[in-house]
Amino acid sequence: MSINKYNKEGYPDPTAYEALTSIHKEEAAVKVFRPLVFICSPYAGDIEINKRAARIYSHFAVERGYIPITPHLLYPQFLDDGDPTERKLGIRFGEILMDKCAEVWVFGSKLSEGMKSEVARAKRKGYPLRYFTVECEEMTKCP
């Protein structure tokens, strides 16, 4: 961002310049790069427990400096997971979001069919995968 010391008419405007410079410095100090991370965890089965766990995993990512992308917390709010057409659409939306992420984080030692599909896609695309227990402890090898 370029901050001009002069106003539109070409006259020096030190007050505006100082104010804008100060604002720019504050904004720059606040902006912290946070990479996107795709949260891969179960949805099907006990949906309420799985949604609660996904919220915990998402918060865990935030605490570690990431922006979590957790499609199974978003799309079932307005797409019907029981409708094959809408489920397929939600899965596709998740795939598009995964393409924007720096890493894919997989939670739990048992992978659902949906998770297996997401992990296979991440591997096929060469995306970095990290595996965590349900207690958010990183595992050295995949389940």
pLDDT tens-digit profile of 36-77?
Answer: 999 999 998 899 999 999 999 999 999 999 999 999 999 999
Answer yes or no: is 57 within a domain: yes
Quickly state the pLDDT bin for 33 (edges 50, 70, 90).
confident
Q: Which of 41, 15, 19 is nearest to 106 (CA)?
A: 41
DSSP 101: -
pLDDT for the residue 9: 80
pLDDT tens-digit profile of 111-123?
Answer: 999 999 999 999 9
Answer yes or no: is 95 within a domain: yes
Does the pTM exceed 0.95?
A: no
pLDDT for the residue 31: 56
Answer yes or no: is 30 within a domain: no
Answer yes or no: is 101 within a domain: yes
* Number of domains forming the structure of the chain: 1
DSSP three-state, residue 40? strand
